[in-house]
Amino acid sequence: MAERCNFDFVWTSGFSISLTQYGLPDANLLTLTENVDVARRIAQQTNLPVISDIENGYGDHSNVFRAAKEFYKAGVRGISIEDQTFPKKSALYKKANRYLIPVDDMVKKIKAARSAQTDLFIIGRTDALVSSLGIKDALSRATAYSEAGADALLIQAPSYEVLSAFCKSWNRPTPLVSVLTLFPGVSLEQIRSLGIRLAIYAHLPLAITIKALESALNTLKREQSAAGLLGTMATANELSEFRDQEFYSE
């Protein structure tokens, strides 16, 4: 659907994979193999570049080295590595306590990923702003990750205002990336005005699907008929034609 709607790339979200594929929270409960398997299946179904959230790299820098190779072999062309300790806690979990690894350990992870696959697009992510460490710490970490060889920096922020304050203080050439889940009402024009070059709608399709599915199932249960849903769902023909069905039916 992202390709049909002319988006620029596909992001494989750790949160979304945990929830939709395994019914689990986003808390480092999935293995490298489980995440790579989903990323591979996605990469096989689209011509768009795939960027994968590899969370905190499934271990130390040695694990990141292997992860970079495995995701690249799966068809992924970019990865995002974050600096939370194990187990990580999603930024969506507002009451969760988050702790970050030492800067030097994260630098080793970025360098390991670069060493493993030189043409992989590497995003260094810091959760300093959602871990109550403040802008000064976030800037220090972002600078270190940039110098370690990250191609871009993902700044996870609890609000647009906090993200804006960080961006105003960022004066290095490494481009910034942002996930818009916590402030979905912010436009791309606003995001661009901060100097951010890559915006990720990481969980919005899932959030839309959950509400639409809940509404539809409640209607189906209440009315005992799908008649009231006809204008909101794909037709039988649209379903059958979605993925080259005609070719496989010959």
Mean residue pLDDT across the chain: 94
- The verdict on domain 10-202 having CATH code 1.10.150.110 is no
The domain spans of the chain are: 10-202, 211-249
Give the chain's largest Cα–Cα span: 62
Tell me the pLDDT tens digit for each residue of 54-76: 999 999 999 999 999 999 999 99
CB 22 within 8 A of CB 171: no
Tell me the pLDDT tens digit for each residue of 176-198: 999 999 999 999 999 999 999 99
CA dihedral (152, 89, 41, 233) in degrees, to 10, reads -110
Q: Element (H or E) spanning 249, and its range?
A: helix 245-249
Predicted pLDDT at 85 = 96
What is the pTM assigned to this prediction?
Answer: 0.94
Q: Rounded to 5 degrees, what are φ and ψ at 176? A: -100, 150
For 75, other C-beta atoms within 10 Å of its C-beta total 17
> d(Cα 44, Cα 38) in Å, to the nearest integer?
10
The residue ranges of DSSP E strands in the chain, in sequence order, are 10-12, 50-53, 78-82, 121-126, 152-155, 176-179, 196-200
Q: What confidence tier does 247 reach under pLDDT thresholds 50, 70, 90?
A: low
Tell me the pLDDT tens digit for each residue of 131-184: 989 999 999 999 999 999 999 999 999 999 999 999 999 999 999 999 999 999
